[in-house]
């Protein structure tokens, strides 16, 4: 039996018109253009061509997304500057996560296209996910429920401070 957990912040995403969603900007571009302060949007770092934001629906605390400001769908559409900064920022993100959270492993990945699992396929983004042995427990298998031990705003504060500390 599927259990339900209240996840009210997801309503805005779920209730978007699918037709409009297909023709409008990505949620990442919308966040950038909204002028919402970085503390509220959970943007961790801004570079010249790329930025880092926390995943609003993380697999584990510290789940980062690294992406170009420019909305492109595929790696081959990146400029050489975007490409270099993207991978440099991914590497820095891994260092920051290791320093702050001490994970036993880190997943780094991209889903290119909807068929590959890309939920926001029009705006390329690299997932950087800290992992621990046992971080997926019986709750997923038995209760179909994911447990996150830290609130997103706490993770955001920790990651911003860690980013500044590690990159000095």
**CATH number of the domain that 150 lies in?**
3.30.428.10
- Say what the pLDDT of residue 123 is: 95
Residue 96 lies in a domain: yes
- Say what the pLDDT of residue 74 is: 94
Q: How confident is the model at residue 34 (pLDDT cuts 50, 70, 90)?
A: very high
Kindly report the three-state secondary structure assignment for every residue of 112-152. CCHHHCCCCCCCCCEEEEEECCCCCCHHHHHHCCCCCCCCH
- Say what the pLDDT of residue 85 is: 98
Active site residue 21: no
In the predicted structure, residue 12 carries a pLDDT above the cut 80: no
Contact between 109 and 94 (Cβ < 8 Å): no
Backbone angles phi, psi at 38, to 5 degrees: -55, -35
Highest mean pLDDT among 16-20, 73-77, 115-119, 143-147: 73-77
Retrieve residue 105's tokens.
């492993």
Kindly report the pTM of this predicted structure: 0.82
Residue 4 lies in a domain: no
What domain count does the chain have? Answer: 1
β partners of residue 45: 52
Residue 6 lies in a domain: no
Nearest-angstrom CA–CA distance, 109 and 126: 6
Q: Per-residue pLDDT averaged across 79-90, rounded?
A: 98
Domain containing 25 equals: 17-166
Task: Considering the candidates 42, 45, 123, 125, report the single residue annotated as catalytic.
Answer: 125
Residue 103 lies in a domain: yes
Residue 93 lies in a domain: yes
Residue 162 lies in a domain: yes
Residue 11 lies in a domain: no
């Amino acid at each position: 039996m599927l259990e339900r957990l209240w996840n009210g912040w997801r309503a805005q995403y779920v209730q978007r018109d699918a037709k409009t969603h297909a023709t409008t900007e990505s949620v990442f571009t919308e966040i950038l253009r909204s002028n919402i302060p970085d503390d509220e949007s959970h943007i961790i770092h801004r570079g010249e061509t790329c930025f880092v934001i926390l995943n609003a629906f993380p697999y584990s605390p510290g789940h980062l997304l690294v992406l170009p400001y420019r909305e492109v769908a595929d790696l081959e559409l990146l400029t050489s500057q975007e490409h270099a900064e993207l991978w440099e920022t991914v590497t820095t993100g891994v260092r920051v996560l290791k320093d702050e959270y001490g994970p036993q492993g880190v997943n780094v990945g991209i889903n290119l296209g909807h068929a590959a699992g890309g939920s926001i396929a029009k705006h390329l983004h690299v997932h950087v996910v800290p992992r621990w042995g046992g971080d997926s427990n019986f709750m997923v298998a038995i209760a179909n429920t994911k447990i996150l031990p830290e609130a997103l705003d706490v993770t955001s504060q920790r990651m911003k401070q860690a980013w500044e500390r590690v990159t000095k």
